[in-house]
Structure 1
Amino acid sequence: MVHGSPREPIWEYVISTGIARENFSFFQSPYCLLGHSHVPLVFKEEDGSCTFSRLVANIGLALGESRLIINPGGVGQPRDGDPRASYAIYDSDTRMVRLYRIPYDVAATQDKMMAKGLPVRLAVRLQQGR
């Protein structure tokens, strides 16, 4: 588990198959969890190719033999156009990952951000899920 990527644990955004492909060589386990981009995505390495798909709320992802990079999105500051908090739960009995989306009080969070003097643009994008 890393924040950014296996290659650059703090800052790299894994948002394309090219970047994902380069990162598979930086971890040995079958799966890597990350979240820096705040966009729920899954990258799959299989037979030398790399593909991606979006994680969709309430639809389970079966963990098989393929190597995966899994991003459950963001509880804070989702950036996929959906302002609801995004998180995933792994069920070790069924070997399934399931994404969940839940609403939260965006207006209260925006008020707190403004009170702390954060840039207005950061507060505005919460409402847009950007």
Structure 2
Amino acid sequence: MLLAILSDIHANLEALRAVLADARARGASRFLSLGDHIGFNGDPSACLDELMPLLHAAVQGNHEAAITHHGLFGVALYTRMITKSAAMLSNAQKQWLAALPLTTVHEGLRLMHAPHRGVRWGRVSNCEQAAGVFSLYPEKRLLNGHTHRPAVFSKNAEGIIEELSPTSPGADGDTLTLALDPQRRYLINPGSVGQPRDGDPRAAYLLFDTEADAVTFCRVPYDVEAAAAKIAAVGLPRSFAEALKRGESPTGD
């Protein structure tokens, strides 16, 4: 089975539609989401209209959690962003987001947005942080988002963890396939559909071939200018649009 793993869509309809078309063309039969469907971009409602009937499994991210905990970010700019995003959603969409679990298992894959404790959402950016996540769950294949950067952490039977680089594209320039070792555990981040932060503005997602036990990191070009224009049109900060064009974080982290 070929699963398309999406994360950090962040209300970017142009990126989402480009990714869905690419994944379908590559033969994906199911779509999963690792959270943060809203925020930063201008089309939260339209994105959820696409996603709600499509996804076979999804989890809640910190942006979804912030809808019901408005002070969650502790940053006034982000609190205003979430308030604006929530105002564009229907009651049914808000209820769907609020009902998403923090973590779930689908086809043996552990799905999460990020390690979560109380109102804190942790980043997984190094082997030490990955070790903490491996200790929480028994599954051999774990998937997370939140950092907006593709990443792979691998743990062997002796407990040694190493970080692998999924950023070098394959021969076609748009994909990179990794065969997973059945004796090792993996924590994999597909990168962000709607707001990449690795210096590449193309939308990022992951294909997981459950039969071959292999993953393919995919990058998809889309109309970034159109998405950026919508950010200004709905009254979100210009810095969000400029960061989107560069493939960077709007806050520099």
Q: TM-score, normalised by structure 1?
A: 0.91
2:139 is the counterpart of 1:29: yes
2:219 is the counterpart of 1:108: no
Aligned-pair identity in percent equals: 39
Q: Distance in 1 between matches of 2:149 and 2:117?
A: 17
Q: For CA contacts below 8 A with separation 6 or more, give which structure has more relative contact order.
A: 2
Higher radius of gyration, 1 or 2: 2
Which among 6, 14, 17 is matched to residue 127 of structure 2? 17
Conserved? CA contact 1:55–1:72, under 8 Å: no
Give 1 or 2: higher helix fraction. Answer: 2
Task: Give 1:49's aligned residue.
Answer: 160
Q: Distance in 2 between matches of 1:125 and 1:105?
A: 14
Task: Give 1:95's aligned residue.
Answer: 213
Unmatched 5+ stretches in structure 2: 1-110, 170-174, 249-253
Q: Distance in 2 between matches of 1:105 and 1:8?
A: 36
Runs of 4+ in 1 over 3 A off after TM superposition: 7-10
Report the alpha carbon displacement of residue 118 of structure 1 after superposing the two structures with TM.
1.0
Q: Distance in 1 between matches of 2:212 and 2:186?
A: 17
Task: Give 1:117's aligned residue.
Answer: 235
Structure 1 vs Structure 2 CA RMSD: 1.6
Give 1 or 2: higher strand fraction. Answer: 1
- 3-state DSSP of counterpart to 1:43: strand
Q: Distance in 1 between matches of 2:205 and 2:184?
A: 22
Q: Distance in 1 between matches of 2:163 and 2:133?
A: 14
Q: Distance in 2 between matches of 1:95 and 1:50?
A: 19
- The amino acid across from 1:53 in the alignment is L
Report the alpha carbon displacement of residue 4 of structure 1 after superposing the two structures with TM.
1.4
Q: Distance in 2 between matches of 1:8 and 1:45?
A: 23
